[in-house]
Structure 1
Amino acid sequence: MSKALKTILIISIIVFGGSFLFVNSAQAGEIRFRDKNIFVHFNGLPFDLSNFAPGMSDKKNIRIENKENFDIDVFLKTSRNEPFPEEGKADLADVLTLTVGEQSKHISELFNESMELLSVNSGEFQDYQLNISFDEDAGNEYQGKTINFYFIITAGKGNGDIPPVVIPGGGGVRVLLTIQEGSVRIPEIGETSVTITWLTSYSSTSQVIYAAAGETYSFDLTKTNYGYPHAVPVPEDSTKVTFHSVTITGLTPGTTYYYRCVSYGSLVISDEYSFTTKGVAGVVEEKEEEKMEEIEKPLEVLRKTSISKFSLFSILIFFLSL
């Protein structure tokens, strides 16, 4: 269920040839019954069920306004916008009760049958209070479960039904910042540098913490750089992105490094990975020494030459002055 829940959203779509008119998952809005002057006004939907517990309840209000010249009968049902749980698994829909006026039904019952609400006369409106409660006797098997659903509202009249509308219902998925599984990549690696990329579930900052093999470190959320001796960049790149790319320079050739990707929206830190730079360890230092020797040789010759020329010039001046 968890993978499916990551992709569940109430989307904006109109099904012209069929039966439903959808609205998006905005917290407040108004939707019209197709080409009829009948409107549903809602505020505060969907229900936030992410922290619901047995015995808790919440209520929202909707208004149906009828500007047509005929009366309408109103019906409400629910539809799940996620896969059904596996057979035998606990389903929150079985222990969440929707109450409207004097009527109460479990959400799971309303997947298959409608609840008849008060009718709305021509030129009038009707307010409805939707109350969702978590059954007090629900057991521990529902702990940590989530559910996503929407409401389907039908307005009926004497000469046929009007295509129904769909409005946000309830959601129990809290979108957390995550580093997407398998997204950490190293597209470029050289002797002294590496580029690391990763993807996050929503826009956040970028930083990589790392340590070379042999360096002492311990992952600790309370310490600077979370216990790692190095971090790049410092401070972290505050540009909020979902595709992250950090380049580390000044590395030692032929050396293994251990690293984690760090992003802030809410804090998320990846698992530890490693890479080994190209080349042979110690080559850079030897090359630098050779370069310094090559530079020092001509400088020494120049110094000796300069001293010799100065000495000859001084002797010549001395004899000329006699």
Structure 2
Amino acid sequence: MAPSLLGNAAAQTTRPPDPEVLEAQVRRMLKDPRSEALVQNFAGQWLGLRKVDGITADPSLFPGMDSELKRAMREEGESFFRAFLNEDRSELELLDADFTYVNDRLADYYGLPRPGSASVTRVSTGDGRRGGVLGQAGVLAQASLATRTSPVLRGKWVLGKLLCQEPPPPPPGVEALPTQVPPGSTLRQITELHRANPACASCHDTLDPIGFGLENYDAAGAWRETDNGSPVDATGNFKGVSFQGPRELATILKGDPAFATCMTRQALAYGLGRALTDEDEATVRYVDTRFSAGGHRLPELLVAVALSDSFRNRCPVPAAE
């Protein structure tokens, strides 16, 4: 949440505002066109949408990944997040919503019916390949290498962005996987050989079983059935629960309480303009409780952040509008 938005809704005096007044101001401003700052800044930072225009997929391997397509991918993510700001729906559906936003170019890329528009338009998804943030090419491509997918980067993205469980960095001196899969091999095969090294297993045992569930998407986020000529194996495991493919992974993550709490932490950190510390844990619990009681709706999360003591006491006092 952009401090410029909620900061303007805070007290117009040097004292913290009355909670009822502040809540009314926040709800009013969330309906104002200036709430677009939440999409551009909060979603851009949290989901990495700011990085989509800079995706560097190898043009010799992914010639369709041009600036026009990347722009559509970014706008898909922004429009998808905006829907949760404007509609009465649980933010938990960010993971498994049955709709997305595409223009004709992105629809062709996804294999969806064209909406007949150069601008991204809301469409239904029902084949299990798209819908939800884990099916968006802009997210998938930013967590890939230029030449191939990366279960490590995708597992790290899921843990860090969706569960706030940032994995530790790899130990020094560990040999990296090749940037291209050798002929006749699959990425899963060479990764499992790599993981046999105990020094490598410390990271890979946590990240790979998540990232492999997204292997049906290539490095540029397009759906694929084969990897280097062999059928894609998209089986994975999360906290001891086996799953098959992105939709089952999304279902498991949606049911994990850490997902909702991570949304709370991401919103609070953005609102405060800093990383959270141990001293913020009481505030996290307060905001998380209100977020849950509000049906996990995005406006309720933003109001809860604005009403928290941490946010009210850190807001600079703006000039009166």
**TM-score, scaled relative to structure 1:** 0.22
Structure with the larger strand share: 1
Larger C-alpha radius of gyration, 1 or 2? 1
For normalisation by structure 2, the TM-score amounts to 0.22
